[in-house]
Amino acid sequence: MSHTVIVAYDGSAGASRALEWAADDAARQGVALRIVHVLAPWPYDISKYAVPGGPEAYAEGAGRMLAEAEQTARELRPGLEVSSALLDGQPAKVLREQSGPDTTLVLGSRGLGGFTGALVGSVSTHVATHAHGPVVVVRPHEGVTRNEIVVGVDGSPECEPALGFALEQARLRGATVRAIHAWQLPVHAYAPEVTFDMDELVRSRQRLVAEKLAAWREKYPEVTLIEQTPCVHPANALIDASSTAELVVVGSRGMGALGSLVLGSVSRAVLHHAHCPVAVVRS
């Protein structure tokens, strides 16, 4: 699957959780771990706040922090190939540039600063929205977890890479995959007399998911794959399922017509409200 696992590290409790997650993941995949910190430029280039030692003191501190993080990763996973890098620039932008199809980029849901009411920090949100490859945003598990990975499935081709990511993670962890395709009745305020054959609708949804998953079942015969097609809002279905899962995987959505890569509304809701780590996987 991926050839490197990169963790974005800022020394915060959130980033420490991300570091643990990333070290475990790299070890399971048998690939190297790279720990990256981005030193942001001085705000507005103003250095008039006389900082003892100047910017150099920050760079030195960051270097020490990275050395300690490397040490922590090696202690967690002896034998893991670990390196670190101190980069300059706007953290969100520089980290996004680190992402790619052959990389899993791991961040904490929260970092050092910011607004305490935010569920996910601005750097993580930006990177998950605009990355060029899979991004995992790690948050603490709440409640009891099963050895299960939840993945959201819709009718679009964008969810194929998400399915691939979920199945590969499940294979590495010996976990079950719960593939959820949630759907809702079309609501037209102006045509309340239109009724639906619910049985037929349910069957057609089940067929759609079964067809989508057939090739993946063949590719991963060792992984138990459960299909679910609840008639609820997809964000609710995935967020509920995340409360007992190890990881929830969603596709991003490319708004091709606008030429911009943004996150679909379900993915965004899951990123902010899930009860476990979230992987956003871009096609």
Question: What is the rounded CA–CA span in Å between residue 124 and residue 165?
Answer: 19
What string marks each residue from 90 to 109 as x (binds ligand ADP by CB under 6 A) or -?
-x---------------xx-
What string marks each residue from 59 to 98 as x (binds Mg ion by CB under 5 A) or -?
----------------------------------------
Q: How far is the CB of 14 from ligand ADP (least distance, A)?
A: 4
DSSP notation for 151-173: EE--SSTTHHHHHHHHHHHHHHH
Point out the residue whose Cβ comes nearest to ligand ADP. Answer: 121
Per-residue tokens: 220: 């991963």
Q: Which of 2, 4, 6, 8 binds ligand ADP (CB under 6 A)?
A: 8
12 scored as a contact of ligand ADP (CB under 6 A): yes
24 scored as a contact of ligand ADP (CB under 6 A): no
Please name which of 75, 103, 90 lies closest in space to residue 39, comparing C-alpha atoms: 90
Per-residue tokens: 12: 């915060």
4 binds, among Mg ion, ligand ADP, none (CB under 5 to 8 A by kind): none
Per-residue tokens: 141: 């598990």
Per-residue tokens: 50: 């006389």
Angle made by CA atoms 184, 278, 256, in degrees to the nearest 5: 65
Of 107-146, binders to ligand ADP (CB under 6 A) are 107-108, 110-114, 118, 121-124
Where helices occur in 77-139 by DSSP H, the ranges are: 91-98, 122-130
- Which neighbouring-strand residues pair with 108? 138
| Site residues, ligand ADP (CB under 6 A) | 8-10, 12, 14-15, 18, 36-38, 40, 91, 107-108, 110-114, 118, 121-124
Interacting residues toward Mg ion by CB under 5 A: 111, 113
